[in-house]
Amino acid sequence: MSPVISLEQIQAIADSSVTLPQVPLLGMSVAELSDWVQQHGQPAYRGKQLHQWLYQQGGRSLADISVFPKQWRADLADVNVGRSALHYRSEAPDGTVKFLLKLADGRIIETVGIPTEKRLTVCVSSQVGCPMACDFCATGKGGFTRNLAQHEIIDQVLTVQEDFGQRVSNIVFMGMGEPLLNSENVLGAVRSLNTDVGIGQRLMTISTVGIPGRIQRLAQHQLQVTLAISLHASNQALREQLIPSARQYPLAALLAECREYVQVTGRRVTFEYVLLADVNDRPEHALELAEHLQGFQSHVNLIPYNPISEVDYQCPSDRRIQAFVDGLKSRHIAVSVRRARGLAADAACGQLRASRELK
């Protein structure tokens, strides 16, 4: 079992992480870019051109903006646009593409592009590593380095959009990291991805293991984004076994905060539940989970465990998964099973980085 570290300590570590010295352009609105160009002696309309070039054309250096005066382009060639470098790309037979991106300080993060017939979903990271240390998660096993800046989150979406040559339709904050430990930058990125990149808030999902008080605070923002809670257990003892922070944020308190979220926002909450064979997949777990969610405006998303090398959990059989689904359905709980994507590319979140970082 992981060592006990208090949530205050975890937050302090996240807050103390490095912030980069020069504010990059990525993340700025049209108005901010118009101010910026004027501060650099150019007319305001060039802000709009810069905005278009940044968010729609994949610009990486101001030296390349052909509509700008030659001398000015040359003067601004070193301005930090805020794009990360592609470190590694791996494509699965089903079309899922995993990217490793190298940040300005050399850190590596993982992003996944998941195409379906009608959608292109991006699974974005919110931190380099993760301090939550969930027992079945590859990212958690690798420890925590720092929060991602706003532009480093936006960049992931643009990278996938450019690679696929197709507009991104959905964003899920289900990559590396705990988004609610980096709320300010995550919410800044959500705003920019919505207004600058043009992705609807309703098509974005923030997934969290739950940090006391943060769900309530998120509700105050009255966003249209979907909130997904990584529940993974139907009782307190089981959750503590899988998620170290559950010791300080009991299941009952988490569920109470979620109920309040539904009341304040009028939006239903998704509960994610990783199915681990013989750990949390028994019929009585399904019934216990259903008890908690009676009358709750919610939806359960079952995630069959994606094996990682550090622990020896097993993924339940299809029959067992179906029995869990049926158990919830018999109690009128809305439930779906997440289809595994891109397994051939490099299995679960965090594993690709672990296997490629040192190469």
Instruction: Answer yes or no whether residue 144 interacts with ligand SAH by CB under 6 A.
Output: no
d(CA 89, CA 73): 31
CB of 279 to ligand SAH, least distance (A): 12
d(CA 140, CA 86): 23
Task: Give how many residues touch ligand SAH by CB under 6 A.
Answer: 18
Candidate list 91, 110, 240, 357, residue with the active-site label: 110
d(CA 329, CA 310): 33
CB 154 within 8 A of CB 167: no
Instruction: Answer yes or no whether residue 348 interacts with ligand SAH by CB under 6 A.
Output: yes
CB 129 within 8 A of CB 98: no
Give the distance from CA 22 to its chain's centroid.
24
Instruction: Answer yes or no whether residue 233 interacts with ligand SAH by CB under 6 A.
Output: no
Residue closer to ligand SAH (CB basis): 9 or 61:
9
The two most distant CA atoms of the chain are separated, in Å, by 71
According to CB under 6 A, which one of 135, 155, 272, 346 is a site residue for ligand SAH? 272
349 is catalytic: yes
d(CA 126, CA 137): 15
184 is catalytic: no
Q: φ and ψ at 32, to 5 degrees?
A: -65, -35
d(CA 25, CA 82): 6
Candidate list 123, 134, 137, 349, residue with the active-site label: 349
Name the CA dihedral angle for 16, 18, 19, 25, rounded to a multiple of 10 degrees: -140
Instruction: Answer yes or no whether residue 99 interacts with ligand SAH by CB under 6 A.
Output: no
Instruction: Answer yes or no whether residue 136 interacts with ligand SAH by CB under 6 A.
Output: yes
Binding mask 313-342 toward ligand SAH (x if CB under 6 A, else -) reads: ------------------------------
CB under 6 A: which stretch of 78-86, 157-165, 185-193, 201-209 binds ligand SAH?
Answer: 201-209
Instruction: Answer yes or no whether residue 274 interacts with ligand SAH by CB under 6 A.
Output: yes
**Which residues are part of the catalytic machinery?**
110, 349
The contact set with ligand SAH (CB under 6 A) reads: 132, 134, 136-137, 174, 178, 207-209, 230, 272, 274, 303, 305-306, 308, 348-349
